Structure 1
Amino acid sequence: MIFIRYENFKSYLRFYPVTSVLLLANIAVFILMAFDGGSTNAMTLLKYGAMLNDSHYATEYWRYFTAMFVHIGFDHLLFNMFALFVFAPPLERLLGSWQYALFYLFSGLLGNVISDMMANGPTLSAGASGAIYGIYGAYLFIVLLQRSLLDPQSRQTVYMLLVMGIVYSVMVASVNLWAHLGGLVAGFVLYGFIRKLRL
């Protein structure tokens, strides 16, 4: 089962440097926001890079990137960082740190772009979910087309994650469904592209 983390703190940092930096960056931004108006305050969220698809912010494309490191409330941060901590490490080892870093960032960027395009009216949006669903998209590619890379328990976990994630995304009104779906599709395609380049 590749999703059970056995590493101690030092080993985790050494084996998964990009994931460690991403975790630290997200937590650091959240702490800064907590002392600067709060992580649920709309103006604070915008100040730190959340997305808002209205005319005033329409050309601030850098928000597609910064929004990946901004979270709306502690629960939002906790769920995303737990997923990153547990499920990202095997993919970082598989791709290598630099390719994984590019994969993560592009998955998140594309998820945010799709979310922005599909938003119905002014919507404040932030979070690492697009990039995390990109990771799930990579695992979906693996379980469908590279089954030998995962043991049966890990494959079953991927299916369970995807079913639960899609149901949650559809059922909970505050969840950014399009960022999740966009990240999932982006991760599937990007992982396939990286795999093809390696052949």
Structure 2
Amino acid sequence: MQDLDIQPPVNPLPPAVILMFLAIAGVEAGLTLGEAGLIGGPGAVGWRLGLIRDFAFSGEIFDWMLANGQWPLSEVRRLVTYPFVHLGFTHGLFAMVLLLALGKMVAEVMGQVAFVAIFVLSGVGGAAIYALLLNDPVWLAGAYPNAYGLIGGYSFVMWRHLAGRGTQQYRAFSLIAVLMGIQLVWGVFFETGTMWVAELAGFFCGFGLCFLLAPGEWARIRAKLQRR
């Protein structure tokens, strides 16, 4: 009997993407169930605010640390922990969708270590640049700067692909252009705040990191330096 080549109906996700997704989804599931009164009792209603207070990112705290040269771990960790706490279920849901869609592509093309590095460092860079450029007291929460870093990774892959085909490379930035356009239109009608600064900074961090993390980039850089 001839062996059947059975393909899974859904392409499997890289383990690193699954773990990052489960970390975000697990926190959000607990908070949502608590707010619905299904776990934790009456005190669960305040879990989200408590996590935001303890783990979200504050530009004012960052400015204080920078001005005083003091970097307590309890505050520095906010640069890494804020993507795992969201403002609400919908806020977290869209971040998780972006993570799954873009994380899969970045991890498969560049490797899982590169995916984790881009995801984490884009969030760190996005928050730090947000704090340095603005004096906004609003705290950052949610994985959107990290997800925009993955968009930077996606744009880098497209940029290299279009360069190899000899076509116009600016098309690689169509996704970020559309998203920023939506942000602009949305801001005309609603108060959207300044989180877009952290998101755009995350995008540029993700794109820039690809020059160090994408396969073959180090060899490309060395070859260029040797020709000079």
User: Normalising by structure 2, what TM-score?
Assistant: 0.69
| Aligned pair partner of 1:37 in 34, 45, 56 | 45
Residues in 2 aligned to 1:122 and 1:27: alpha-carbon distance in whole angstroms: 27
2:218 corresponds in structure 1 to 197
- TM-aligned CA distance change 1:142 to 1:55, over 3 Å: closer
Corresponding pairs, count: 185
Q: Aligned AA for 1:144?
A: W
How far the C-alpha of 1:146 sits from its partner, in A, is 2.8
- TM-aligned CA distance change 1:67 to 1:128, over 3 Å: same
- TM-aligned CA distance change 1:29 to 1:198, over 3 Å: farther
Is structure 2 residue 122 aligned with structure 1 residue 107? yes
Q: Deviations over 1:161-193 (max 9, x none)?
A: 322211233334146111111111001110122
Q: Superposition RMSD on alpha carbons, in Å?
A: 2.9
1:3 corresponds in structure 2 to none
Is structure 2 residue 178 aligned with structure 1 residue 164? yes
Q: Give the SS at the match of 2:101.
A: helix
Is structure 2 residue 191 aligned with structure 1 residue 188? no
Q: Deviations over 1:133-153 (max 9, x none)?
A: 111112222222332789x9x
Is structure 2 residue 121 aligned with structure 1 residue 123? no
1:53 corresponds in structure 2 to 59
Contact 1:108 1:134 in 2 (8 A): yes
2:72 corresponds in structure 1 to none
Q: Aligned AA for 2:205?
A: A
Q: Deviations over 1:95-152 (max 9, x none)?
A: 11122211211111111111222233311111111111111112222222332789x9
Deviating more after overlay: 124-133 vs 27-36: 27-36
User: Normalising by structure 1, what TM-score?
Assistant: 0.79
How far the C-alpha of 1:89 sits from its partner, in A, is 0.5
- TM-aligned CA distance change 1:83 to 1:19, over 3 Å: same
Residues in 1 aligned to 2:114 and 2:219: alpha-carbon distance in whole angstroms: 11
2:226 corresponds in structure 1 to none
Residues in 2 aligned to 1:77 and 1:175: alpha-carbon distance in whole angstroms: 18
| Aligned pair partner of 2:15 in 1, 17, 20 | 17
How far the C-alpha of 1:92 sits from its partner, in A, is 0.3
- TM-aligned CA distance change 1:23 to 1:56, over 3 Å: closer
Q: What's the % identity of the aligned pairs?
A: 22
How far the C-alpha of 1:58 sits from its partner, in A, is 4.3
Q: Aligned AA for 2:20?
A: L
Residues in 1 aligned to 2:99 and 2:164: alpha-carbon distance in whole angstroms: 20
Residues in 2 aligned to 1:72 and 1:119: alpha-carbon distance in whole angstroms: 21
Residues in 2 aligned to 1:31 and 1:139: alpha-carbon distance in whole angstroms: 28
